[in-house]
Every structure is written in C-alpha cells, then in structure tokens.
Amino acid sequence: MISSGIAAPPEKMMFQLSLRRRGVSDRGVLQAMEAVPRDRFVDPIHRPNAWRDTALPIPCGQTLSQPFVIAYMTEQLQIQPKHRVLEIGTGSGYHAAVLSRLASSVVSVERFRTLANAARTRLRELNYANVEVLLADGLALPDGQGTFDRILVTVAAPELPQSLLDLLDPDGLLIAPIGPANGRQTLIRVHRKGDDFVRKPLVDVRFVAALPGVAREL
C-alpha cells in the first residue's frame, strides 16, 4: 500500500483488513479497491455503509456487490496494464472504476438507461477517462466492439452464450456467474486456449439475473 502521509479513515483501514483476511492478496487489486471512492457510487443514504463488506442497493432493482466479491473476481482476472477489458453489467460504475486502475481500457455495458447515464457521469466526474459505458444488451453486443483480453460478467445466466466467448482473445480470461436466477450460481473462470475454452468452477455466488435487450423505461 502506498502511503500518502495522511492517515486513512478507520472504515477504510477495516475495509482493507477485511479483504486481506478473506484471502485477497494481489497488491494491485488491493490498491485499486482502496483508491476508488466506493461511497461516491451509492446514494447518500447508503454512504455510511459503503466501506462495509456488504452488498448495497442501487436504482433499477440492481445491487452493488460486496467488496470481497468484487476484489475476488478482479483478482481472478489477472489483469495486466496492457489489457482491454469488457464488463457486462455496469451498475453504479464502481467495478468499472476498479478495473480501470488495472487495465489499459474498459468497455462497460449496461441495459438500464438510468444506470448507464448515472455511471457515465460519475466516472467522468471522478476522472476515470479510460472507461466507456455503452447502453446495450450485454449478452448480445452490437458488432464493431472488437475482442477483449479479459471479460467480466456481473449478471447470472443459465449458460454462457457463445457470442460472448467469441469476444475473448486467445489466452484471454472470462469470469461469470452461471446458474438459475433464484438458485445456486457458480462463479466460473474460462480460459481461452486457441479454439478451446477451458472452464474452472470457483465459488458459489448470488447475482441478479441477466435480462435480454435494453430496458425500455429505466
């Protein structure tokens, strides 16, 4: 951890300690989690709990995942500074901000216009200039996005669509929760080796379900 000469608030110190105790050890991930102001990505009423290891509600019936889950998923992606990252499910924009401190660029996709617009504004105000937020169906992206070194999916689907796997570069990694909307989901890591996709189950998780299309009203 790089010291700025200013003592960290107690809640941020406990935030870091909690992540370390639960097994997050990648220094880059820990620094990124510390640097991104999590309290700026939730409504004011939830800011007192922003640094606790708990999920928080955001608009459109979505959630900001608990810090450990975000840190764990990010660590499993093994992001390098040269990487181009795709995130499916922008939400508040917090996870995109964390990814942006580790990668060259981040394309984050959100189906809710309200969330996409708010995240875009928030990321711009906080100067995360290497994040692009798209309003689109994350599981059926429009053509022209190119391919990615790393893909992070933050919504659950029964199966991973081949169209998304095809966006993964050779030797790329993808992390996604797979399983039913109201049942047990498993976080899996997919490693692309040539034309083969090697899957490894990681941990059980619970995410909101992936929905098709772009939301009409929100």
Q: What is the pLDDT of residues 36-55, one digit of tens each?
A: 999 999 999 999 999 999 99
Calpha distance 114→110 (Å, rounded): 9
In a domain? residue 84 = yes
Q: Considering the candidates 4, 18, 65, 92, report the single residue annotated as catalytic.
A: 65
In a domain? residue 218 = no
Domain count, the chain: 1
Instruction: With cut-offs at 50, 70 and 90, classify the pLDDT of residue 146.
Output: very high
The 10s digit of each residue's pLDDT in 79-95 is 999 999 999 999 999 99
Residue 52: CATH number of its domain: 3.40.50.150
Sort residue 157 into left (φ over 0), alpha (ψ -120 to 50) or beta. beta
Residue 37's CB: how many other CB atoms inside 10 A?
Answer: 14
pLDDT mean over 185-209: 92
In a domain? residue 217 = no
Q: Domain limits at 162?
A: 10-205
Residue 105 known to be catalytic: no
Contacts of 176 (CB under 8 A, 6+ apart): 88, 151, 152, 153, 157, 160, 187, 188, 190
pTM summary value: 0.90
Q: Identify the pLDDT of residue 38.
A: 95
Over the chain, what is the mean pLDDT?
90
In a domain? residue 5 = no
Calpha distance 168→72 (Å, rounded): 20
Report strand pairing: 84-88 vs 168-178. unpaired
Q: Identify the pLDDT of residue 56.
A: 95
Listed residue (98, 147, 149) closest to 119, CA to CA: 98
Q: Identify the pLDDT of residue 46.
A: 94
Residues forming beta bridges with residue 206, ordered by sequence position: none
